[in-house]
Amino acid sequence: MAADPLRWVRRDIRGIVPYQAKVFPQGIKLDANENPFPWPAVFTERLGREAFTDAFNRYPDGAATGLRQALSGYTGREPAEILVSNGSDEAIQLFLLTFGGPGLATVVANPTFVMYAMATRYLGGKVIDVPLLEVEGVFHLDVAGILAAAAREETRLIVICNPNNPTGNCFPEEDILAVVNGTDKPVVVDEAYYEFSGQTLAPRLAELPNLLIMRTFSKAFGLAGLRVGYTLGAPELIREINKVRQPFNVNAFSQGAARLALAEAPAFQAQVRQVLAGRERLWPELHRFAWQVYPTDANFIFLRPRAADLAAGVRLAGAIFQGLLDQGIMVRRLGDALRITIGRPVENERLLAALAVLQETQNGGWSV
């Protein structure tokens, strides 16, 4: 009998389209919400001097003791309230391994970061989508809808991204607290863009035993290629999540680089201020193209080209995406919408110039 190992692949896995991060070395990359600036010189110099003193022929510190101690100083939380992960993606999987599983559900407020749903499905779980409410051009949580979904027997985890990816806005703190206080199930608040928004629930952790806060070094700290994330939560929850973590999940070099990034935080904060200045420059300029440009608290801007209907909007967003790509600029397309990362000043100006050219070639109306 001919061997057919593919027949043993889980049926639910066969239907999944994998997440694909695009590589675009030849152009301007404004699609992944990364810090667009090179590492600060003071950080690079220290990294060269200090990071290579570790014994890389030995396994790393599985408990990430030094990094957790440094994060304690940065966040104001005790080391026992901190779990270090291989980026936020691993943290999401750890939450699901701890609380979720086959047949169990994760509640998400869509549109949001796709990996919450994808990771749930990888583990045989199901996703309960609660659409965001759009009121006068601002996205809001459907608090009643989320709590109704949280009350379902199969629900084990609720995830809220704040600021939300891809819409960019922060939700009112009282709305998030209403969700956290309205259930005893774990609520994960993803604060990947905290350094850009300045808004956090970390000071409330002691009074909210079911709250988990997820953060990353991939955005403001520019360590996307090194894969370092961390979670804040009650020591009891952190202890349980730690049980399903791989023993050496974050390599020694990445741990050392993250410690040094925290030590040189002012240099990265200066880059954050540059990004925010770029956002203030870019956001009003994008209104010139007769789009719906949404308010943002992050390092990216979410917008929808105006169109007669959804199908026309999808075609129009696709035409703009491809037109920019043809001019060497990559943004993120999401159905009938686009998400544009704030780049360096020269990149932002190139984007505006490319859009102006594209609009002119479309007879001034972004025709579809």
CA atoms within 13 A on the CB side of 234: 13
* C-alpha dist (Å) from residue 67 to 63, 236, 247: 9, 20, 15
Residue 25 predicted with pLDDT over 70: no
Residue 366 predicted with pLDDT over 60: no
Residue 123 predicted with pLDDT over 60: yes
Residue 83 predicted with pLDDT over 70: yes
Judge whether 9-38+266-361 and 51-263 match in fold. no
Residue 256 predicted with pLDDT over 90: yes
Amino acid 367: pLDDT: 47
Residue 368 predicted with pLDDT over 50: no
Q: What is the mean pLDDT of residues 285-303?
A: 93
Q: What is the mean pLDDT of residues 324-342?
A: 95
3-class DSSP assignment, residue 188 = strand
Residue 151 predicted with pLDDT over 90: yes
Residue 10 predicted with pLDDT over 50: yes
What does the angle CA 65 – CA 68 – CA 70 come to, to the nearest 5 degrees?
A: 110
Q: What is the mean pLDDT of residues 126-143?
A: 96
CATH of domain 51-263: 3.40.640.10
Is the peptide bond prior to 203 cis by the omega test (within 30 degrees of 0)? Answer: no
Q: What is the pTM assigned to this prediction?
A: 0.93
The mean pLDDT value of the chain amounts to: 93
Running DSSP on this structure, what letter comes out for residue 166? T
pLDDT bucket at 24, cuts 50 / 70 / 90: low
> What are the boundaries of each domain within the chain?
9-38+266-361, 51-263
Residue 218 predicted with pLDDT over 60: yes
Q: Where are the alpha helices (DSSP H) in the chain?
A: 11-14, 41-50, 65-75, 87-99, 115-122, 143-150, 173-181, 194-197, 235-242, 252-263, 265-286, 310-326, 345-361
Amino acid 300: pLDDT: 98
pLDDT bucket at 14, cuts 50 / 70 / 90: confident
Q: Is residue 238 within 8 Å of 44, Cβ to Cβ? A: no
- The domain 9-38+266-361 is placed in CATH, from the list 3.40.190.10, 1.20.1740.10, 3.40.50.280, 3.90.1150.10, at 3.90.1150.10
Q: What is the mean pLDDT of residues 301-308?
A: 89
Query: Of the ranges 23-32, 110-119, 334-343, which one carries the lowest mean pLDDT score?
Result: 23-32
Amino acid 194: pLDDT: 98
Query: Of the ranges 85-99, 172-186, 299-313, which one carries the lowest mean pLDDT score?
Result: 299-313
Residue 2 predicted with pLDDT over 90: no
CA 263 to chain centre: 23
Q: What is the mean pLDDT of residues 205-224?
A: 97
What pLDDT digit, counting tens, does each position of 42-81 carry? Answer: 999 999 888 777 778 899 999 999 999 999 999 999 999 9
pLDDT bucket at 1, cuts 50 / 70 / 90: low
Amino acid 363: pLDDT: 55
Residue 157 predicted with pLDDT over 50: yes
Amino acid 156: pLDDT: 97
pLDDT bucket at 149, cuts 50 / 70 / 90: very high
Amino acid 250: pLDDT: 97
Q: What is the mean pLDDT of residues 165-176?
A: 98
Determine what percent of the chain is predicted with pLDDT higher than 70: 96
